[in-house]
Amino acid sequence: MSNGGIPGRLLRGGGRDDGPRGLTVTRDNLYVRETVIPIGHSFVVQGSNGEFPFLTSSERLEVVSRVRQAMSKDKLLLAGSGCESTQATVEMTLSMAQVGADAAMVVTPCYYRGRMNSAALIHHYTKVADLSPIPVVLYSVPANTGLDLPVDAVVTLSQHPNIVGIKDSGGDVTRIGLIVHKTRRQDFQVLAGSAGFLLPSYAMGAVGGICALANVLGAQVCQLERLCRTGQWEDAQKLQHRLIEPNTAVTRRFGIPGLKKTMDWFGYYGGPCRAPLQELSPAEEEALRTDFTSNGWL
């Protein structure tokens, strides 16, 4: 992974109850990303918004394989390979590498979160990284897992030669800054996990972002990175302000159903969610649209 990091990109794909069509439109969504609005340095597949907990193992691998076949060869493919057990995560990571992933993003195991202390998580990630043929990116997303990967564990794991970074979706900018500071002597990248706190994350030293909102406002998310990199902080602040409500809408407020509906509005295919997730009600859809129109995006 280069020092340039991963500007906010997350590719939606798979996880649909419409069977093979889900894989076909994954390719179509990629075509729009690659040719109509060619932005970003990479694709992230099978992250939280890829509905990976609701997919079978074979479906997860098929999505990554299809994306690898369709995407440009000069872009990095980061695939989510996390499972609940260490053994399953190792096996999934090996399989992801075989179908074309350049790196693996591994979410914290969380079902037995009461016992997922620093020692357990360090052991888990070390074992995965030891056996992985591709670089590993840590993934902390407490809103979904109820578990924040402890800073001391991150610092220890940053010293592993095959662990190259972390996607931190917790939203605690002081934590992001501390991780940047504590890992500064390692070849380790810190990535913001949401467009809602991109600007302060860049100010704290994050090198990029992996953001759900980039599925629909990818050019704008990447523009925010460019503004920060070139020191245009006033313009960056204005853009960040306009991204906060839409970002909240497609994450905490309406989640994957909201993101998929918004993708439909912006010319992609969002499609139905996989059960038990349900589509938005008419009132929720109207509230979602308001969050985008009031900020000038629709």
pLDDT mean over 263-273: 94
CA distances for 267 relative to 32, 35, 47, 136, 233, angstroms: 9, 14, 21, 33, 30
Tens digit of pLDDT for each residue in 110-135? 999 999 999 999 999 999 999 999 99
Q: Are strands 208-209 and 163-168 parallel, antiparallel or unpaired?
A: unpaired
Q: Binding site membership for pyruvate: which residues? A: 210
Tens digit of pLDDT for each residue in 270-289? 999 999 999 999 999 999 99
Q: What's residue 14's pLDDT?
A: 42
In angstroms, rounded to a whole number, what is the distance separating the alpha carbons of residues 134 and 81?
11
CA distances for 134 relative to 43, 46, 91, 105, 141, angstroms: 16, 16, 13, 10, 22
In angstroms, rounded to a whole number, what is the distance separating the alpha carbons of residues 281 and 177?
39
pTM more than 0.95: no
In angstroms, rounded to a whole number, what is the distance separating the alpha carbons of residues 293 and 298?
5
Indicate if the pLDDT at residue 170 is higher than 80: yes
Residues pairing with 103 in the sheet = 78
Mind telling me the catalytic residues?
139, 167
Indicate if the pLDDT at residue 192 is higher than 60: yes
Q: What's residue 3's pLDDT?
A: 34
Tens digit of pLDDT for each residue in 88-117? 999 999 999 999 999 999 999 999 999 999
Q: What's residue 36's pLDDT?
A: 45
Angle between helices 282-293 and 255-265 (to 10 degrees): 60
CATH superfamily of 20-232: Aldolase class I (3.20.20.70)
Amino acid at site 139: Y
Indicate if the pLDDT at residue 256 is higher than 60: yes
In angstroms, rounded to a whole number, what is the distance separating the alpha carbons of residues 265 and 240?
21
Tens digit of pLDDT for each residue in 214-226? 999 999 999 999 9
In angstroms, rounded to a whole number, what is the distance separating the alpha carbons of residues 130 and 132?
6
b/e per residue 46-75 (b: at least 16 CB within 10 A)? bbbbbbbebbeeebbbbbbbbbbebbeeeb
CA distances for 137 relative to 32, 78, 106, 119, 198, angstroms: 27, 9, 6, 18, 18
Indicate if the pLDDT at residue 191 is higher than 70: yes
Identify the residue with better confidence: 70 or 8. 70
For residue 112, count CB atoms less than 10 angstroms from its CB and return exposed for 0-12, middle for 13-18, buried for 19 or more.
exposed
What residue segments make up the domains of the chain, in order of their start?
Answer: 20-232
Pick the closest to residue 173 from 141, 197, 137 (CA basis): 197
- With a pLDDT cut of 70, the percent of the chain lying above it is 87
